[in-house]
Amino acid sequence: MADDGFTPQVEWILRKVTGEHQTMLFSATLDGDVAHLVTRYMKDPVEVAIDAANDTVGTMHHLFLAVHHMDKDRVVASIASGVLKTIVFCQTKRTCDRVEGNLQDLGVKASAIHGDLAQAARERALKRFTDGELSVLVATDVAARGIDVDDIGVVVHYEPAGDVKDYLHRSGRTARAGRDGWAVTLAEYNQHTQVRILQRGMRLDPTPPIEVFSNNPKLKHLPDFHNEG
């Protein structure tokens, strides 16, 4: 709600709460506007963390690929052809729409979800994805909240995530229910520094992104990249 701009309304409600009471706050993160609510409206708060973000790293395969911007959508299409379900995270709504259209032109059953779409349209796309009618869901961070699908094989970061927290929140859509999962970051030549920052933040080996083109057969079977180099 904070990311959607509803912090003033939440504060208005909290100010109306009088008398002795208990306040319980549930949030995926405790920073930014949420941290402000804790500081201002809670007395002697106790934090209970469940499923800490770093817990997901050990059950997830991380892959960082160096790609050319004109080949990115074909790379995504190749990756998606090797698994049942893929989520592609993009930073903007416009990018989501463009990627959706390009993937559809490549024969991929894909749909975008973001805040400019009506709620009914987002729910319809999510149901089709859950039911297996779509193989790829292209989403912004905010629109993807609440997605609870266990059999997502790959999460693709169309651009490197802004920070480790965002990376893990996105990537946490895969590697669920004991299944293997892949978090694949696509990095253009000027984004390799951000990749190194993410790798250090997750205590992964700082390895340069692997240069690939969309005709690389390993994209359709990601475990083959473990033999790279």
Note whether 23 and 76 are same-domain residues: no
Crossing angle for the helix pair 192-201 and 164-171, nearest 10 degrees? 80
Note whether 118 and 162 are same-domain residues: yes
State the residue range of the domain holding 158: 59-224
Give residue-wise pLDDT tens across range 83-131: 999 999 999 999 999 999 999 999 999 999 999 999 999 999 999 999 9
Note whether 37 and 90 are same-domain residues: no
Would the pLDDT of 229 be above 70?
Answer: no
Give residue-wise pLDDT tens across range 189-206: 999 999 999 999 999 999
- Per-residue confidence at 79, pLDDT binned at 50, 70, 90? very high
pLDDT for residue 33: 72
Is position 81 within any domain? Answer: yes
Note whether 72 and 137 are same-domain residues: yes
Top-confidence residue, 163 or 56: 163
Note whether 33 and 64 are same-domain residues: no
Is position 49 within any domain? Answer: no
Note whether 193 and 104 are same-domain residues: yes
Is position 32 within any domain? Answer: yes
Is position 46 within any domain? Answer: no
Is position 170 within any domain? Answer: yes
Is position 53 within any domain? Answer: no
Is position 52 within any domain? Answer: no
pLDDT for residue 126: 93
The amino acid present at 114, given as its one-letter code, is H
Note whether 89 and 192 are same-domain residues: yes
Note whether 63 and 21 are same-domain residues: no
Note whether 24 and 125 are same-domain residues: no
- Alpha-carbon gap, residue 50 to 196, rounded angstroms: 28
Note whether 137 and 27 are same-domain residues: no
Would the pLDDT of 53 be above 80?
Answer: no
Six-digit token string for 9: 């309304």
Question: Beta 154-157 vs 181-187: how paired, if at all?
Answer: parallel
Is position 229 within any domain? Answer: no
- Per-residue confidence at 54, pLDDT binned at 50, 70, 90? very low
Note whether 199 and 156 are same-domain residues: yes
How does the average pLDDT of the chain come out, rounded? 88
Q: Where are the alpha helices (DSSP H) in the chain?
A: 7-16, 32-41, 72-80, 93-105, 119-130, 164-171, 192-201
- Per-residue confidence at 184, pLDDT binned at 50, 70, 90? very high
How many domains, in total, are found in the chain?
2
Would the pLDDT of 56 be above 50?
Answer: no
Burial grade of 166 (CB within 10 A; 0-12, 13-18, 19 or more)? middle
pLDDT for residue 227: 66
Top-confidence residue, 48 or 167: 167
Note whether 179 and 89 are same-domain residues: yes
* CB-based contacts of 214, cutoff 8 Å, min separation 6: 71, 74, 75, 77, 78
CATH of the domain at 64: 3.40.50.300
For the chain, the straight-line distance linking the first and the last C-alpha, in angstroms and rounded, comes to 45
Give residue-wise pLDDT tens across range 9-45: 888 888 888 888 888 888 766 666 777 788 888 888 8
